[in-house]
Amino acid sequence: MFANAPVARLAIGWLTMFLIGTDLFVVSPLLPLITAHYRTSPALAGLSVTMFAVSYMISAPLLGHLADRLGRRRMLARCLLGFAAANLLTASAANFAWLLSARLFAGAAAAGVSPSLYALVSGLAPPDRRGTWLALVVSGLLLSLSLGAPIGGLVGAFFGWPSIFTILAGFSLLLLWLNQQVWPEDYGSGNIAAQRHAWALANLSGRLAPMVAWSAALYGVYIYLGAGLAAYGFSTEKIAATILLYGCGAIGGILAGGRMVDRIGAKPTSGVGLAGLSVCLLLIQIAIDAGMLATFAFGAASAAAQLFFFFQLRNTALKTTYRLSAQRFLPGTPVPSFSV
């Protein structure tokens, strides 16, 4: 009964994304502690975030393809196990090079967790609620901006920054078990003659560039948001308020985006989001120069950016077409029950 409860699936999915987001975003408040520990500069310490992001970007297509063959549930479990190991390596990093290597490993593991979870959620959601279900799960990632990262920063200040990654490793193992309980087994498709459908893979790879630019505009801004605002003379209280509103805007944007997708579709929603983000980024510069309403401009930009997240749903639709084509041209080729 527990495994069949939609509420349980959404809750465990939400917690899993909250864990992934906390692991990524907690580095921002921990940067001063990491810098002091390894006696390096903040710019170099920020490379730990860069290594995570680059590893994620490179690994996601490869692990996504592997998940199609092995099954999303299996990939999710294995990557959560790898994520736990990566966090233990981060906590025990003896030098800065080891830390960067551990964050590289963590990014690769996260690249297998998030897409597999998105696919499982979307595949089991009612067709008219798919965007809403996905938005609810992704809100866990975004709430870590305003809740997980600040709490992690406080814990790191009192108990040392390595303790945060040890705790995250423990929760990764717990969530590994919980995800195994709530998601039904799905079966990979095996080799479905990808060579015959290279055109479909080329279309998917061509859609990667907008997602990379979007991620850089959204998450790249967040990582150095505190340092950047301080350089413009913002007080500590105002910086904290800006970061809080940035996180709240992201949560509001993803929830609103989920409803919009269910009503008008992913393509119009992502278009509105991209246009809104472009306008809001211009407004941020104007607001900072004018010395007023900059906090609200950051919140609006974060909310608009999340609407573009549903661009992934368009990629998902193409992937479904590719799978159906494989089944059509290769009769008897298994198609996963829970493919998106």
When the pLDDT of each residue in the chain is averaged and rounded to a whole number, the result is: 77
State residue 299's pLDDT score.
85
Q: How confident is the model at residue 1 (pLDDT cuts 50, 70, 90)?
A: very low
At residue 311's C-alpha, the angle toward residues 219 and 340, to 5°, is 115
Is 106 within 8 Å of 154 (Cβ atoms)?
A: no
Residue 12 has, within 13 A of its CA and on its CB side, a CA count of 27
State residue 187's pLDDT score.
60
The answer on pLDDT for 219 being more than 70 is no
State residue 224's pLDDT score.
67
Domain assignment of residue 336, yes or no: no
Domain assignment of residue 289, yes or no: yes
Report CA dihedral (78, 327, 337, 210) to the nearest 10 degrees: 60
Domain assignment of residue 335, yes or no: no
Q: Which of 167-181, 194-208, 243-257, 304-318 has the lowest mean pLDDT?
A: 194-208
Question: Looking at residue 310, which CATH number applies to its domain?
Answer: 1.20.1250.20
Q: Of all helices (H) and strands (E), which one includes residue 275?
A: helix 266-290
The answer on pLDDT for 315 being more than 60 is no
Total domains in the fold of the chain: 1
Give 111-176 as a DSSP string.
Answer: HHHHHHHHHHHHHHS-GGGHHHHHHHHHHHHHHIIIIIHHHHHHHHHHH-HHHHHHHHHHHHHHHH
Domain assignment of residue 259, yes or no: yes
Domain assignment of residue 85, yes or no: yes
User: What amino acid occupies position 98?
Assistant: W
**Helix, strand, coil percentages, rounded to 5, for the chain:** 85, 0, 15
The answer on pLDDT for 102 being more than 90 is yes
Domain assignment of residue 337, yes or no: no
Q: How confident is the model at residue 177 (pLDDT cuts 50, 70, 90)?
A: very high
If 0-12 CB within 10 Å is exposed, 13-18 middle and 19+ buried, where does residue 79 land?
Answer: buried
Domain assignment of residue 243, yes or no: yes
Q: Which residue has the tokens 């509103």?
A: 245
Is 247 within 8 Å of 142 (Cβ atoms)?
A: yes
pTM over 0.85: no
> Could you report the per-residue pLDDT of 260-305, keeping only the tens digit for each?
887 888 778 888 888 888 888 888 888 888 877 888 888 888 888 8
Domain assignment of residue 1, yes or no: no
Distance CA 260, CA 278 (A): 19
Distance CA 271, CA 91 (A): 41
Q: Please give the structure tokens belonging to residue 235.
A: 């007080």
State residue 101's pLDDT score.
92
Q: Which of 100-114, 153-167, 235-249, 257-271 has the lowest mean pLDDT?
A: 235-249
Distance CA 190, CA 211 (A): 27
* Residue that wins the pLDDT comparison between 334 and 257: 257
Full residue range of the structural domain in which residue 187 is found: 6-325
